[in-house]
Structure 1
């Protein structure tokens, strides 16, 4: 019995050796042949593509220790696919990092706005003529200090609709901005309004019928319809401003109706003709003159009209030059330089066009218009005593001044770098218009 078992064991061992030496060798050779036959460029490309896909997907887990802000959104979106192992754990870690990063951004933005406000307030304390320098202090200086936030917020604003965390962060930044602007501007606005109220208390009650009509037309047509509303008149662009102006328009309309009723009652209903007012046809006979005399009067009027027109044109040109003569001198020098060398760098190569000198020119022009333009209008009102005649003279003067300033603004934009233009603190064309309104 034992011999038969040993014999069977020997046979099994020999069979196993045969299989190991022949069968497995044949199987290995067959596998190598199949691999060699299928080792084509297409299969290699597919294999490389698969390896790259695996490497990219593993990077979402490997990047945790060296995380960058730009990959937050992409990584979180990928890890929301919970089919991967540990994706929930890494998703939580990414969200924590995003919250921490947005908190740091909010803190940085708030501190930047606070520092800008402090810098503006410190600058305002050292300014003597606060009335003339209010614009460059409260606007240009604040913009210059806070401009470093623009690239950061420009990167984050498109993401506000993708995540509540971005929306909350941007809302906090906006609130901080408006709060700091309120700290800066509220005292100035309040003081300006109080001064206007004290200087013009009940002044509208004494306005003439023509002035009230002109104010209503200007407020309704020129400001509300053209500036505050869209073309169809339904959508309000500046809701807060439109609401205030509508209340002012309602007040002016009530005053206009009251003045119209008073005029109709006093000047028409209760009209008492003086002696000679009803002396017709005797009065017509008295003013009748010979034909020759009438022709002489017509010629005299033509001569008078020509003289008045010439004097008014000279007055308009001289008045405009009184405000912007230095700017016109600068523009004439620039034209002369550009005619000789169109590619010249004004801020670097021309002494008269250095940013520091041009900045002083802008400040002087702004101060001159801010102080002297209201005085100019007051002098016209004093000597002419007629709103229509005042506008006939003041409007061309304003148009000439605005034309010179708009040309000045275009030269600055085209011939100076963006950094130099920001240092110049040049008001825009719309701000010049508002200054002279």
Structure 2
């Protein structure tokens, strides 16, 4: 299981066909510092990794389809035994060429000297202005020098473009090999959620449930969590990105778990909400039924050719109608939706693309018009995650009723990962139960 060298080569060829006579430069991710001189585990930039499979920092990939000899060029850290003893082995200049299929490799120290050779023949420069300001300035200086001397050569880039506009369209459609990795990531994620459903009980602490989930991720071969796990009991579930995970679980409260595994760079993302003591209260059950129906309607809208927004619209309609029926909203359904009066209870989108990144690369809007949304296509993977959150501190929308106390402190979200197929969709995370009769005990 994994992406083969041949697939990486095919990706590069497809990318270079799109940039035509341009030159593209991609920078590896930096090491991130946790505190003082302690670093986080290195995680490669996803675009860089998508085209190269190269998993070291301080590297640059150049793509120059117009060059007569070298179309794929890697600048990497050279071998250095003293450094490798401390921080790990390096492929080195020769190893990177042999293993990762570059036409030529150089030491990263040679970048300023060698880069102009691959820029001067291109008509455009593709580079994403990222967070590394020093490197941004390096690239811009090369670009400016080439612009200043173009009239004497007759060649060189005259436009600067972001390669993400091409790469992110490519990344939206998963290959068979990517789908295998996604299935593994979601299967590990599902197994951890199944264990959490069995393990969680009143008196435990949120962090104990978190520990069980993340222990199982590693036990099953995942690199770890795809994002900091959310284990939120009671009113903590009303905090969308709650990660403190320190409270004690109480009977008669709900537990919201939003957790996913990362497997070979690909990510799962699942949320389930269930009663800690085994039984929903009447208010919890009523709200849960609304969210569950909203999710089912939103998943049904995930079809090839359907607008991305159609899934969100389906969820919004069910949730708004449910809140209206309960008296938590009042007014005309269509006007409530148009005026977004549901937002104090459901303030986020219904999903996002999923893949190499948890909030994966991909286009949502294709124009400024209200209905100018990307259509789902076979090979897309999207999360579907509606919710209702009634914070203890909720402020109703203008003109809407005050919220009775017996509703406050309930937060519910249900999330699945959904693959768009040629004929419909497949729920990759269906192994984790979500029906009330399956969650109660």
- TM-score scaled to structure 2, two decimals? 0.21
The structure having more radius of gyration, on CA atoms, is 1
- Normalized against structure 1, the TM-score is what? 0.21
Which protein is richer in helix relative to its size?
A: 1
